[in-house]
Amino acid sequence: DSGVTQTPKHLITATGQRVTLRCSPRSGDLSVYWYQQSLDQGLQFLIQYYNGEERAKGNILERFSAQQFPDLHSELNLSSLELGDSALYFCASSADRGMGYTFGSGTRLTVV
């Protein structure tokens, strides 16, 4: 157990639907990062939150949004889902000035 908890582990949904992925960071970590891993692709950075504020944004589609709540857990919302959104979505957290991340085990999203 890495200390970063992601739910659900698996999600199957239809095109056009909306889903919410949840992440609880490791205790004490202020930063949360979301990454997408599609088939045979590396980890693509989506967005980072630090202590409730958006800190950095990557290749995140307009159909996707995220937030970090006062208790530091984060949610990634994916809407108007397309087949190409099928991927593994990883959440990671890091300590203040932390040099590396701790990853959760991911949510596998399948859009049918």
Partner 1 sequence: DQQVKQNSPSLSVQEGRISILNCDYTNSMFDYFLWYKKYPAEGPTFLISISSIKDKNEDGRFTVFLNKSAKHLSLHIVPSQPGDSAVYFCAARPFNFGNEKLTFGTGTRLTIIP
Check binding of 31 to partner 1 (CB under 8 A).
Answer: yes
Check binding of 90 to partner 1 (CB under 8 A).
Answer: yes
**108 vs 99: CA distance, rounded Å:** 26
Q: Which stretch binds partner 1 (CB under 8 A): 13-21, 61-69, 70-78, 96-104?
A: 96-104
| Other Cβ atoms closer than 10 A to 79 | 15
Residue 25 CB-density burial (10 A; 0-12 exposed, 13-18 middle, 19+ buried):
buried
Q: How far is CA 10 from CA 6, 51, 70, 73, 100, in A?
A: 10, 27, 26, 19, 26
Asked whether the bond before 8 is cis by omega within 30 degrees of 0, the reply is yes
Residue 81 or residue 90: which is nearer to partner 1 going by CB?
90
Among residues 24, 68, 101, 109, the one that binds partner 1 under rule CB under 8 A = 101
Q: Please count the residues of this chain forming the interface with partner 1, following the rule CB under 8 A.
A: 28
Check binding of 92 to partner 1 (CB under 8 A).
Answer: yes
H or E, element range at 51: none
Q: How far is the CB of 23 from partner 1 (least distance, A)?
A: 11
Residue numbers of the site for partner 1 (CB under 8 A)? 2, 4, 31, 33, 35, 40-45, 48, 55-56, 58, 90, 92, 94, 97-106
